[in-house]
Amino acid sequence: MMEEDFYAVIKLITGEEIFSSVTPTEEHERMLLVLHNPVVIEIVTMKQIGMQGYKIDPWLKFADDDTFLLDMDRVVTISEVKDEETLEMYQKFLDQYQNKNEKSVGMNKEMGYISSVTEARKQFEKLYKSEDIKDS
């Protein structure tokens, strides 16, 4: 049975607090939470100017997935979040984070010559020697 998605802050038994879009589901008589793009939000105080701000990071920084299953036996409490400012901040983070990941480009041979250090050194020495001959 699938329930409706909602935004929530989840306190885990480890002490972590996660903010995420949540879909509760029940499988084999176990209640599970499907977390979509979970993040950790930290309040940061800038002492020099006396202001506070928020720092948002992915919950799992090196994971390739953006959806995770969480068993309710790992949850201390869960609270739905309806605050528009928090939801806008979260959405803005997701937009920037996903754009950053889409812009990363891997190396390929069309980008230029790929060689070993030894081969590159030989090429540079050859170029350097040919420049010395032209200058003479």
CATH 2.30.30.100 assigned to 6-105: yes
The pTM is what? Answer: 0.66
- The domain spans of the chain are 6-105
pLDDT digits (tens, 9 = 90+) for 43-96: 888 888 888 888 899 999 888 888 999 999 999 999 999 999 999 999 999 998
75 is written with which tokens? 């949850």
Rounded CA separation 32/26 (Å): 6
Q: Among all chains, which residue has been given the structure tokens 């400012």?
A: 85
